[in-house]
Amino acid sequence: MPEKNSAISEEQDAKGLLTQLNDYLAAGVHIGTKFRTKFMADYIFKSRDDGLTILNVQKIDKRIRTVAKFLAQFEPEDILVVGRRDAAKKPISMFAKITGARAMPGRYYPGLLTNPSLPKYHEAKVMVASDPWNDKNAISDAFKSNIPIIALADSNNNTQKIDLVIPCNNKGKKSLATIYYLLAREYLKARGEIKKKSEFKYEIKDFIEEKQKE
């Protein structure tokens, strides 16, 4: 596969990943944008001839593990997952359904984490944002509330307010599905609700939003 060496450095190999290397590559989890920020420099492996950045798969995989273990410290109802982008709605909803976390797909209304008088006020203890830019209102509220913020960040994102970053393609539906699928599975494992991968009865495709036929 031509993309293999562009996603994993020569000093590393694909052994021990949370899923098959091809799952990451086929979903485009490692494909960044043509722009890069200083915040994401450590996660970028190289740039392709067409200008697109390539994120390091090993670092993506390692950070998913770290985030899952961190989230496992929290009860499901204390976790808020947000995603305004259409491609994020199904993945975060499935994550919430499986883990018991709360999902807020679509637009986030400022104040929902900071203003108790609002009908939909939610007292979360940790937030997972699908995109630092699109979900900036939610991140701003979480930052004001001193809530730990985890974010899926692409090569072009600013992560100043983020406590834990998962570097990845945060725009593609297959990429987002793969990330949230692995987070859900590893969260349940870290919580002791499942002991091995085979006990997780979902597939990546279950997290992908399919267009409805007219």
Residue 210 pLDDT: 76
Claim: this prediction has a pTM higher than 0.85: yes
For CA atoms 199, 174, 157, 81, the dihedral sign is negative
Q: What's phi and psi for 8, nearest 5 deg?
A: -130, 130
In which residue ranges of the chain is pLDDT below 50?
A: 1-6, 9-12, 212-214
For 14, 99, 103, the CA distances from 80, given in Å and listed in that order, are 32, 11, 6
In the prediction, which pLDDT does 144 show? Answer: 95
pLDDT at 209: 79
Degrees to nearest 5, angle at CA 157 with 2 and 71: 90
CATH superfamily entry for domain 4-196: Glucose-6-phosphate isomerase like protein; domain 1 (3.40.50.10490)
Give 79-90 pLDDT, tens digit per residue: 999 999 999 999
Residue 15: the pLDDT is 66
What pLDDT digit, counting tens, does each position of 149-195 carry? Answer: 999 999 999 999 999 999 999 999 999 999 999 999 999 999 999 99
